[in-house]
Structure 1
Amino acid sequence: MGKQTVAIVGLGALGILYGQHLSEALRKDRVKIIVNEERKKRYEAQGVTLNGVPCDFNYVLETEIGTPADVVIVCTKSLTLDSGMESMKHQVGDQTTILSLINGISSEQILGARFGQEKVIPTVAIGMDATREGQNVRSKVKGWLQIGADTPEKESRLAEVSALFDEANFPYTIEEDITLKIWEKFLMNVGVNQVVMVNETTYRGIQTGGTYHEQMREAMAEVVKIAQAEGIPLTEAHIQQAIDIIDTVDPEGMPSMRQDGLAKRPTEVELFAGMILAKSKQYGIPTPMNDVLYKKIKKMEQKF
C-alpha cells in the first residue's frame, strides 16, 4: 500500500479541525481541501485558523481533474450535500473510499447512490466541541471518528482507512455495529442540537443540572422508541452515554445548529425532528417533544 491521499470537502468546523490534524500529520501535499475559485481566493487572502493558529492548507479547485484521492471525507452540511458531491466528483475513483461526517441517518445512502454504495464506509463524528467563528475554529476537545463496515465486502476498505488513520495518529475506533453508532449520534443530535437551538443557550444549558437538561432527555427518549420500532437496539442506557459525553465538552461551546441559528442560516431541523416526526407518523408513536422543537425551530427560521 502506497502513501494514501485524502480529500476534504466542506471547510466548516469539522473540516478545519480534522483537516489541520491530517495536514500536519501526513504533510499537506497528501491532504487536499476541495474548494471553488471564490473560496480559494477568500481562504488564501483572509486565512483560516484553529484556536488562533494559522492553518497551512493545500487548496485544490473542484474543477481540477487529476488523480482521485484514496479517501474523501465529507464535512459539508446536509443542506449542501448536493453541491458537495459535485465538488468532490473529480476526487472519486474506483479505489476511493468515502467517509461522511454529516449529521443524521441518511447521508451514506445519498453518497452511495451517487458514487456507489461499496465506496462508503459508515462514519460517526463524536465527542468534539468545535465552534466556527468567522475564519477561526475554537476547539478544546477533538473527539474521534467511529468507523465500521456494514457489509463484509467493505472490510478491505475499512482496513485501508484504519492504516491511514494509524499513520496520522488520528483519533478513531472501529465499531462492530456501526449502524447502532449512527443512531447513537442521531439521538445526541436530536436532543442536544435542537434544545440548545430553541433555548438559545450553549452546552452549559443542557449539561447535567442545566435548565434544559430534561427537555434534552425527553427528546432523546423519543428517538429510542423510534429506533426500537426500526429494529435498532437503542436503549435508555444510550441516553446516559450521550449525556456523559456532552458533560465533557466546553460549557461555552455550542452545536452546529445553534451556530447556524446565530448566523441566520437554515438549520438541519428536517434531518432531526423532521425525520423523527415522519417516523412517528409511520409507526404511530407519539413524539410530543420533537413536535414542539420542530415547530419552534421552524418559527425561528422564519425570522432569518
Structure 2
Amino acid sequence: MTARIAFIGLGALGAIYSERIATGLAESADVFAIADGDRADRLAAEGVTINGAPFRPRIERPDASSGPVELLVIATKASGLSPAIDLARPFAGAGTVILSLINGIHSEPILAEAFPEAEVLLSMTAGSDVERSGSVVSYENFGRIAFGRERNEPADAVVSSTDELLARAGVPHEVPADMERVLWWKFMGNVGINPSSALLDAEYGAYQGADSPAREVMRAAQRELLLVANARGVALTEADMNEWQRTVDGLAPAGRTSMLQDMRAARPTEIDIFSGEVARLGREHGIPTPVNDLLLNGIRARERIVGAA
C-alpha cells in the first residue's frame, strides 16, 4: 500500500523536507503539498528550486481531497498555523501522524485540540541553515528532525513506524528519550539567536568565535529561558547552551536566521512566540526577564521602522 504524505507550507524547511521524502520514497509513497487559491496555482506552475535543482511537487487542494493521509507535516510560519489547520481538515483523520516544524512550543497543543483523532507528536528541527528567496531555496547544512512523545518508549508503534519511514526516506532524524526537553532546547536556542540576530542585523558568523559580543547577547536571553524552563520542570542547564553554541558554530557564517530574513524583507517577525513567550511565562512564574523584554520591544520598534508592523 502506498503511503500518503502531505506538506502544508513549502517555505525553506517545508521545501527541503518534502523534496527529500519525495525523492527517498519515490517508489513507495505519494508525497504532495496541500494548498489552495493563488498559492496552489503558483506552486503547480513554478515549483521551487533547491540548491539549483528544480522541484515541482504534486499539489492537492482541500476541496478535492482524496482523504486522510498517513503523515502530515506542517511547516508554515507561526502566523500560518490557523490557516494550516483549515487546509488540513480534509486530510487529517484517525491515525494520521502530524509533525509540526513551526518554531516555538505552542503549535502541538493547538494541533492536538484541533485534531483529537490524529497522532500529534512533538517535533523540532535543528542544524539547518536553509534560506528561501522567492522560489529559490538553498542550504549548506540540511539539519535534522527530532520527534516523538514527551517521553519516548521503544514499544510505541506510532513513533516507531514514523522513525522507519523517515529512515527509508533518508531524512536525518532522531527519537530522543526525553522529547519535551529537546523541544525546549530548540526553543532556548531560538529565543537567543532569532530576536538578537534580527535586532543586531547579525548573520550566523557574528555568533561564532569566543570573543563574539553577539553570542553574549544570545546567551543572556537564553539564561532567562533556563530559569523559566526549570520553573516548569524542564531541566535545561548551561551545558545545553554550550551544545546550542556548537550547533551554531557548524552553520554557514553567511547564513541568516528566519527572523533576520523576515526583518530584512520587511515582513512581520515571530517575536511573540520567542521573547514574547518567555516574558509571558516569566510573569506567570514570577521570574524577571529584562533581556527578553528588551528584545521584544526592540524588535517591535524595528518592525515599525522598516515598515513590517
TM-score (norm. length: structure 1):
0.95
User: What per-residue deviation string (whole Å, max 9, x for no partner) do you get for residues 231-266 of structure 1?
Assistant: 110111000000000110111111111111122221
- CA-to-partner distance for each residue in 1:136-174, whole Å, 9 max, x for gaps? 111010010011223679922111111211211211101
| Deviation, structure 1 residue 299 | 0.6
1:23 equivalent in structure 2: 22
* Cα pair 1:9 1:75 within 8 Å, conserved: yes
Deviations 1:45-97 (A, max 9, x none): 33311112111311111322213110001101111100011111111111211
Change beyond 3 A, Cα 1:117–1:264: farther
| Structure 2 residue 127 is the aligned partner of structure 1 residue 132 | no
State yes or no: 1:234 paired with 2:236: yes
Give the whole-Å Cα distance in 1 for the aligned partners of 2:75 and 2:36: 15
- Describe the shift of the 1:228–1:151 C-alpha distance in structure 2 as closer, same or farther (beyond 3 A): closer
Identity of aligned residues (%): 32
Point out the more displaced range, 177-186 or 58-67: 58-67
- The answer on 1:76 being equivalent to 2:81 is no
Measure the CA separation in 1 of the matches of 2:42 and 2:200: 33
Q: What are the equivalent positions in structure 2 for 1:1-304 lying under 5 Å apart?
A: 2-27=1-26, 30-116=30-116, 119-150=119-150, 155-208=156-209, 209-303=211-305, 304=307
Q: Structure 1 residues 21, 274: CA separation in 2 closer, same or farther (over 3 Å shift)?
A: same
- CA distance in 2 between partners of 1:41 and 1:150 (Å): 38
Whether the 8 Å contact between 2:72 and 2:98 is mirrored in structure 1 is yes
Structure 2 regions of 5+ residues with no counterpart? Answer: none
Q: Distance in 1 between matches of 2:247 and 2:172?
A: 15
2:8 and 2:34 in contact (8 A); partners too: yes
**Distance across 2 between alignment mates of 1:186 and 1:51:** 27
* 8 A contact 2:6–2:71 mirrored in 1: yes
CA separation in 1, counterparts of 2:52 and 2:222? 35
Provide Cα deviations, 1:84-136, integer angstroms capped at 9, x if missing partner. Answer: 11111111111211001111111000000000176101111111110111111
Q: Residue type of the partner of 1:289?
A: V
Which 10-residue stretch deviates more, 147-156 or 228-237? Answer: 147-156
TM-score by length of 2: 0.94
Count of residue correspondences? 303
Q: Distance in 2 between matches of 1:82 and 1:298?
A: 22
AA of the residue aligned to 2:216: E
Partner SS for 2:267: coil
Q: Which amino acid aligns with 1:239?
A: M
SS of equivalent residue, structure 1 residue 137 = strand
| One-letter amino acid of the structure 1 residue matched with residue 18 of structure 2 | G
Amino acid at match of 1:144: R
Q: Distance in 2 between matches of 1:134 and 1:60?
A: 21
- 3-state SS of 1:103 partner: coil
Alignment gaps of 5+ in structure 1:
none
| Aligned residues of 2:131 and 2:138 also touching (Cα < 8 A) | yes
Q: Distance in 2 between matches of 1:8 and 1:84?
A: 10
Contact 1:9/1:76 (8 A) holds in 2: yes
Give the whole-Å Cα distance in 1 for the aligned partners of 2:73 and 2:4. Answer: 11
Give, in angstroms, the shift of residue 191 of structure 1. Answer: 0.4
CA RMSD of aligned residues (A): 1.7
Q: Would the alpha carbon gap of residues 220 and 11 (structure 1) be closer, same or farther in structure 2, given more than 3 Å must change? A: same
2:190 & 2:168 partners in 1: Cα distance? 30
CA distance in structure 2 between the partners assigned to 1:20 and 1:97 by the alignment: 19
- Note if contact 1:68-1:92 (Cα within 8 Å) is conserved in structure 2: yes
SS in 2 for 1:30: strand
CA contact 2:44–2:58 (8 Å) conserved in 1: no
- C-alpha contact 2:94 2:117 (8 A) present in aligned 1: no
Question: One-letter code of the match for 1:255?
Answer: T
Q: Deviations over 1:201-259 (max 9, x none)?
A: 21111223334111011111111111001111011100000000011011111111111
